[in-house]
Structure 1
Amino acid sequence: MLYFSRWKTILIWLTVLVGLVYAAPNVLPRNVTDSMPGFWPKDSVTLGLDLQGGSYILLQIDRESLIQERQQAVQDEVRQLLRNERIGYSAISANDRTVTVRLRDPAQADAAREALSPLTQSISSGLISGGSVAEVALAEPQPGVLTASLTDEGVQYRVSTAVTQSIEVVRRRVDELGTTEPVIQRQGDDRIMVQVPGLGDPQRLKELLNQTAKLTFQLVDQSENAEQVARGGRVPPGSQLLYTTDATPQPILVRNQVMVSGENLTDAQAGFDPQTNEPVVNIRFDSQGAQRFGRVTQANVGKPFAIVLDDKVLSAPVIRTAILGGQAQISGSFTVQSANDLAVLLRAGALPATLDIIEERTVGPGLGADSIAAGEIAGIIGAIAVVVFMLAAYGFLGIIANIALAVNVILLFAILTVIGATLTLPGIAGIVLTLGMAVDSNVLIYERIRDERRQGRSLVQAIDSGFTKALATILDANITTLIAAVVLFFLGSGPVRGFAVTLAIGIVTTIFTAFTLTRWLVAAWVRSRRPRELPKGWLRLVPDVTRIPFMKVRLKIFALSMALCAASIVSLFAIGPNFGIDFTGGTLIEVQAKQGEADIGDIRERLSAAGIADPQVQEFGTNREALIRIGSAGEVSDASQQALVDTASQAVAADYDVRRTEVVGPTVSGELAWAAILGVFASLVAIMVYVWLRFEWQFAMGAIIATVNDVILTLGFITVTQLDVSLSTVAAILTIVGYSLNDTVVIYDRVRENLRRYKKMPLGQLLDLSDNEMLSRTTMTSATTLLALAALFVFGGEVIRSFVASMLFGVAIGTFSSIFVAAPILIFFKLRPTDAAEAARAAEEREKAEAEDPTERVTVNPGRA
């Protein structure tokens, strides 16, 4: 194991060199990387919105409005088709996706079905699928009555098509803002995710995305007085009552027939009226639109012509002369900004359906800079703490471990850069956690080497055997954590996924550095220095050999653990978790006073005066900052939730800067809650299956019981301390699951080894022996992880403090349960090889091993266990 061929050595250091090259742009100044040759990597890790500021918006197609629009189109088409065939009908109505026609003469039913047959023709559902769907189904529920119903397949096709078209429209609108590297992706069947980093005006983005931008030119109906109709009069057939966009909206009767639509626009630019110098929008039509516009204006000189945008009248000028050049001007109550925005909307095109904002997360650039600074400080302090600790504990071997740790971080950043991952604040937490957990592999190896040395092996044999025997343990321990990270990635969203990615990559790089780089460095040290003894550190948390009777107190520990679990469950119902808006829906706004300290009472009064009921305002971070929470009480729609955050922001805008905004509508909050529950359950099942396959069923049951114990106690801690329960908390719980299993599997691996070695030792004595042998490793690993997390808790910033607090408690309780719960539970399940054939096989393997290497023979000291 300590011999490395030349090609292996070259491959190891080539990997390190390539990692260094790809990771370097993350720390080098931009002018240095730009001056590098063309083949040199220049990309760096993309910072998430919480680190550089920007907006994340999740849009959803308004399915109901799309259905109503299609239903109206089917109704118009039914009316037109029957008129063309001169088939009379007494009534036509639309209700619940169905258009119903009552014929005057039931004998014309067959002719009517033939006339309406074009509605039922199949439409292609795409080149990839190669299929087709029927959008409308005809039926005759009773003689003389025909129904044309929208099919589920047809509705789904229209929704899918609308999403595809909307993505392109949204992309054009966002590109008009001049932002860099926006991310616009489809999510699910009817959603679009928009992520715009570095955006300074998120409100403008929302306004651009929240408008359908359907522009139409329609004649004004002058047969009735619009004001009288608005006061309760009857709307003339074929017309509708709309309102202007003025400060005081004025009613206008507009004919339903669209004379010219925005589909015929080729350009729209903001400008100024040469006579009034007011902001206007100049538009230009294509040839078809120009002809239509010319005919309409020529035939209606002297009549008002309404310019309608999303059912609101921008203006209704009187046509003075025919406009034949294909160019026109839209005037109204525009500011320079609103004229520019309208021009952007018209150039990008109209959305095929209304898009509702169901989730929004916005971070100001100032908060992003603060988060980067906090993350850097926490990372540096955490790294220094871990490095010093390893050096104090293992001396020269600690230096080797620290070199491997530095290479680990370099490879981690290199992989993040190559795959184009986005680094978020929870992602930084994942890196800091990796710093603490990465040394676990080195601790396992070093402690195993010490064990082998104490058993009488030579130094070279101890080192070789230590690496060999630690391999399976390290793989088992890290795979359980990797399972939790994978589940977290697939069931999480946004920043939580960033945490899962960094944690998973950190596990992979840790295994690589532990079994290649660390082993090569140790082998090089042995060959060059030819040491006679292992280097010793200056710090030992526990003695090399301990004889703590863990099993004697197991019943008391079980009783205490069960009592604490019962108390935790009671607290969940009696006190209740402090659910954040991720699970309850609502609005969260972080503000910072422009001058002086934040006045909590003043903020609360402003919000109440703005009509916001029961706002929760609390101090957050420094005395200049405050956190506003607005719940979604009652039947609150996603649209009204957006209106609420706008109102709250405007109420405090005079004296406070909005640093962060999160809006989670009721649609998303319910989905996130179920995803969280499913994530924890799925990870537990996956890990149990893995442990079951690798060990025995008793080990799997013991591991799950210990892990459930950790989860329940952590939930109790979160409830009692009233920490905010968010998606990050779920990430913390899943990481605790992986970490606890990591600890438990390491001890179980030693138990399994001792079961093969000491065939006649009583199980309780054997478990004591295993716990005592692994106690030094367990405490060392927990200490390094807690050091890294403590740095993150103190210096990482208020945003992730709840997340890190949960992790700190979980790591501590996970260490406790691995020793006092996971191992003793095996006695309850009567773990001991009872099958004679299995015992005989194990004895033969043991005798063979002793024959090959006499140092395998170990004399058991009964007093040790």
Structure 2
Amino acid sequence: MTRALRIRGLLALAAVALSLYIALTVPVHLGLDLRGGTQIVLETRPTATADADSEATDRTLEVLRGRIDALGVAEPTLARSGSNRIVVELPGVQDPAEAADVLGRTAQLTFHEVLGTTTSADNQDEPLPKRPRSQVLADETGQNLRLAAASLTGQNVKEAAARLDQQAGAGWHVTVDFKGAGRDGWARLTGQAACAPAGDPSRRIAIVLDDKIISSPQIDPSVACGSGISGGSTQITGSFSADEAKELALLINGGALPVPVESVEQRTVGPTLGARAITASAWAAAVGTALTALFIIAVYRVMGVLATVALACYGLISYAALAALGATLTLPGLAGFVLAIGMAVDANVLVFERAREEYASRHRPSPRSALTAGFRGAFSAIADSNITTLIAAGLLFFLASGPVRGFGVTLGIGVLASMFSALVVTRVLADHAASRRRLRRRPRLTGIAHTGTVRDRLTRTQPQLLRRPRRWLAASAAVLALAAAGIAVRGLDFGVEFTGGRLIEYTTATPVDPDRARTALADAGFPRAVVQTSGDTRLTVRTDQLTNAQAAAVTDTISTLTDHADKLRDEAIGPSLGKELRHGALIALVVALGAQLLYLAARFRWLFGASAVAALAHDVVILVGVFAWLGKPVDGVFLAALLTVVGYSVNDSVVVFDRIRDLSRSDRTSPFAVLANRALLQTLPRTVNTGMGAAFILTALAVLGGDSLADFALALLIGVAVGTYSSMFTATPLAVELHKRRH
């Protein structure tokens, strides 16, 4: 065993052991659709300077989303109800009262010059807008300090983070970094305070949160008068516990609420999906995963078995990473996680197909040497395809918010875990197996010595797929036009997450089974109705926008399920995916496409980058167009599927372009179109096998997963099929045409 193999083996063992420990000790929260959670109803209150209208409530909702879901993986539901109420549903909350308290804190952070001490607190309780010049507040010890008007606010803060000072033994504190004018303002404020004598109250800076001094440190004697503290950062110290410091940092980062809120109701709600739907989806995921594993084993034999083991390790590592981040798993999230396992086979297939080529060329006389060459030859394709996906994931995380940011987190974790699984775990297992005497004597058992039916047929016939590239482009343009026509003619049926809808709450004489209620409402013409229970006799129905006649039909349907049903609440609710979130997601996607274009242009040529991004846009438009023609809802589940297609669509194109680059280095005489055709034929087996691995899982989810996953699986099936086609017959022909125009 070589030193490199030993290091890889130790890395693999350490990663798997750590992941197993995390998976067994850190629970993953289940989403509102699987387990239910806590519902908190908040009501915005007017102030002397702001009304609690729908606009202020919407702004408040977005600030609350940032507090609840900084990484975008907590899967809360927030929606405006009426003009001044916000319905917040939180999965897996241990202490609803504490959650309501954190949400209700205004988090107005200000930094003040201390004018001196006073024994009077006459205007201590006067509202802030009425005392802009000075105010009196008690410090941490109870001494009253007279404060000047705020010199800095939370809007001047770039970032806050909880830190533990282990060396000095000072415990937990919060580090605050200022931005822009805040950096100069902090230097000016501390420079003024430094002019006071040591020990004088005026040498202190008061840090105030919601009209309470939380820290009032003395300026260090080393700070010169008028110069102040440069660097634009400070620490908020106090007797903080770890949770208190993290909570304070979260509040500062989330920003102040535009208007105050008050919790008016708290209760526990049941899951939005029934037990039957959850069971059916679990069976579908298990069947799909098993079929994918059997397919890989049938194609690649012993190497397929090892790849399946590596994929299991990938699943464990990804799960542990999500658990460590405190992620919440919803049903579409779990389905996407299972799909990621199927798509993670791509890197293994790339290596095995490259090893088959090396073995078939007779340059590598043994499966082991062919495997070594396969890993070496496939590395650039694996790296480039995954880096383009990581670029998209990173930009979604930094530029978007809410569930779109969460998708960037899970996508990035999946990509990194997939690369580790293929390049480390599979490499260790494959090298060890290929060195066994039994496999050396029977090389066909490895799956490397057998080139495969698809490759044999292509090698024998050598079809000229790119003889007329414009025909492929014309076909793609025709399908694109048809999809665009569907969007223009039929329009998009946006779900309640985008448009808002109606929330009707009932109290029933007897308990109502939510599964029966869902079925009855679907039969009555409301298939998208979301039903939740709260206690034994409370039932909530959330639907798209309804007319009064339709709302009456919903009430009549519920009444047939019990002796008597009284309507407690009937309100319009706003979209849970608000305008700001959608705007940020759109900007993130556009910037991600541009960044992918630049990366591919740098790694390959600009025509490759333009072709790959054009094919991605082609895939997105066709997917949206098909859903428009079918009249399927464009909702949060569809958004998850669309982002998955965006994340993985470029991969196939990059693999083909990587092979064109390799061929052009070794063959500088053949025309570009000939090299492109040869690259297409050589990578076609990998494209087919990877697509089949994902198709097994998606078909099982679509057929066996029930209504709750049917649209999600359908969207991804369309996306995978169109993405496979476009990488071969849109991106590559477009690159050929662009090359012709340039030369």
Q: TM-score range by the shorter chain?
A: 0.5 to 0.7
Give, in whole Å, the separation in 1 of the partners of 2:731 and 2:379: 22
In the alignment, structure 1 residue 790 sits paired with structure 2 residue 699:
yes
Counterpart of 1:697 in structure 2 is 606
Give, in whole Å, the separation in 2 of the partners of 1:810 and 1:627: 32
Percent of paired sites with the same residue: 34
Which of 88, 100, 123 is matched with 2:149 structurally?
123
Counterpart of 1:727 in structure 2 is 636
- Counterparts in 2 of 1:364 and 1:570: CA distance versus 1, 3 Å: same
Counterpart of 2:363 in structure 1 is 457
Which of 322, 337, 350 is matched with 1:416 structurally?
322
Counterpart of 2:380 in structure 1 is 472
- Report 1:285-684 matches (<5 A): 353=261, 364-365=270-271, 367=273, 369-370=275-276, 372-458=278-364, 459=366, 460-490=368-398, 497-529=405-437, 531=440, 533-535=443-445, 540=452, 542-544=454-456, 546=458, 547-587=462-502, 598-599=519-520, 617-618=526-527, 629-631=543-545, 652=558, 655=561, 664-665=573-574, 669-684=578-593
Which of 16, 23, 29 is matched with 1:46 structurally?
29
Give, in whole Å, the separation in 1 of the partners of 2:469 and 2:624: 23
- Counterparts in 2 of 1:414 and 1:645: CA distance versus 1, 3 Å: farther
Alpha-carbon displacement from aligned partner over 1:754-811 (angstroms, at most 9, x marks no partner): 1111111012211110000000000000110111222222333423332221111011
Q: How far off its partner does 1:820 sit? A: 0.5
- Counterparts in 2 of 1:552 and 1:406: CA distance versus 1, 3 Å: same
Give, in whole Å, the separation in 2 of the partners of 1:56 and 1:757: 64
Give, in whole Å, the separation in 1 of the partners of 2:313 and 2:453: 27
Q: How far off its partner does 1:702 sit? A: 0.7
**Secondary structure of residue in 1 paired with 2:527:** strand
Give, in whole Å, the separation in 2 of the partners of 1:466 and 1:833: 33
Q: How far off its partner does 1:551 sit? A: 0.8
**Secondary structure of residue in 1 paired with 2:739:** coil
Q: How far off its partner does 1:721 sit? A: 1.0
- Counterparts in 2 of 1:692 and 1:829: CA distance versus 1, 3 Å: same
Amino acid at match of 2:427: R
- Counterparts in 2 of 1:403 and 1:367: CA distance versus 1, 3 Å: same
Structure 2: unaligned runs, 5 residues or longer: 53-128, 135-147, 155-175, 187-207, 215-246, 506-511, 532-538
CA contact (8 A) 1:619 1:626 kept: no
Q: How far off its partner does 1:435 sit? A: 1.3
Q: How far off its partner does 1:556 sit? A: 2.0
Q: Could you tell me the TM-score, scaled by structure 1's length?
A: 0.56
Q: How far off its partner does 1:595 sit? A: 5.8
**Secondary structure of residue in 2 paired with 1:544:** helix
Q: How far off its partner does 1:748 sit? A: 0.6
Q: How far off its partner does 1:164 sit? A: 13
- Report 1:52-67 matches (<5 A): 52-55=35-38, 61-62=44-45, 67=50
Q: How far off its partner does 1:730 sit? A: 2.4
- Counterparts in 2 of 1:374 and 1:476: CA distance versus 1, 3 Å: farther
Give, in whole Å, the separation in 2 of the partners of 1:361 and 1:187: 28
Structure 1: unaligned runs, 5 residues or longer: 26-41, 70-115, 133-158, 166-180, 193-350, 604-615, 634-640, 835-865
Give, in whole Å, the separation in 2 of the partners of 1:387 and 1:601: 36
CA contact (8 A) 1:453 1:462 kept: yes
**Secondary structure of residue in 2 paired with 1:587:** strand
Amino acid at match of 1:481: T
Give, in whole Å, the separation in 2 of the partners of 1:68 and 1:62: 8
**Secondary structure of residue in 1 paired with 2:526:** strand
Amino acid at match of 2:714: A
Give, in whole Å, the separation in 1 of the partners of 2:149 and 2:255: 19
Amino acid at match of 1:20: L
Q: How far off its partner does 1:833 sit? A: 10
Alpha-carbon displacement from aligned partner over 1:645-700 (angstroms, at most 9, x marks no partner): 99977983672799xx9975169633344234324323212221221222111111
Which of 659, 669, 672 is matched with 1:750 structurally?
659
- Counterparts in 2 of 1:501 and 1:602: CA distance versus 1, 3 Å: closer
Q: How far off its partner does 1:456 sit? A: 1.7
CA contact (8 A) 1:676 1:730 kept: no
Alpha-carbon displacement from aligned partner over 1:491-550 (angstroms, at most 9, x marks no partner): 665555554433322221111111111111111112222615343669956233512211
- Counterparts in 2 of 1:366 and 1:535: CA distance versus 1, 3 Å: same
Number of residue pairs matched?
545
Q: Could you tell me the TM-score, scaled by structure 2's length?
A: 0.64
- Report 1:107-118 matches (<5 A): none
- Counterparts in 2 of 1:763 and 1:795: CA distance versus 1, 3 Å: same
- Counterparts in 2 of 1:824 and 1:806: CA distance versus 1, 3 Å: same
Counterpart of 1:849 in structure 2 is none
- Counterparts in 2 of 1:540 and 1:55: CA distance versus 1, 3 Å: farther
Q: Answer 1 or 2: higher relative contact order, Cα 8 Å, separation at least 6.
A: 2
Give, in whole Å, the separation in 1 of the partners of 2:553 and 2:490: 32
**Secondary structure of residue in 2 paired with 1:385:** helix
Give, in whole Å, the separation in 1 of the partners of 2:518 and 2:43: 39
Counterpart of 1:14 in structure 2 is 14
Answer with 1 or 2: which has the greater Rg. Answer: 1
Give, in whole Å, the separation in 2 of the partners of 1:647 and 1:428: 34
CA contact (8 A) 1:382 1:792 kept: yes
Which stretch of structure 1 is more off in the superposition, 750-759 or 542-551?
A: 542-551
Give, in whole Å, the separation in 2 of the partners of 1:412 and 1:403: 14
CA contact (8 A) 1:754 1:766 kept: yes
Counterpart of 2:675 in structure 1 is 766
Give, in whole Å, the separation in 2 of the partners of 1:454 and 1:412: 35
Q: How far off its partner does 1:742 sit? A: 0.5
- Counterparts in 2 of 1:390 and 1:620: CA distance versus 1, 3 Å: farther
Give, in whole Å, the separation in 1 of the partners of 2:481 and 2:212: 49
Q: How far off its partner does 1:450 sit? A: 0.6
Q: How far off its partner does 1:729 sit? A: 1.9
Q: How far off its partner does 1:745 sit? A: 0.3
CA contact (8 A) 1:45 1:421 kept: yes
In the alignment, structure 1 residue 808 sits paired with structure 2 residue 717:
yes
Give, in whole Å, the separation in 1 of the partners of 2:415 and 2:425: 15
- Counterparts in 2 of 1:5 and 1:577: CA distance versus 1, 3 Å: closer
**Secondary structure of residue in 2 paired with 1:52:** coil
Give, in whole Å, the separation in 2 of the partners of 1:354 and 1:451: 67
**Secondary structure of residue in 2 paired with 1:550:** coil
- Counterparts in 2 of 1:433 and 1:666: CA distance versus 1, 3 Å: closer
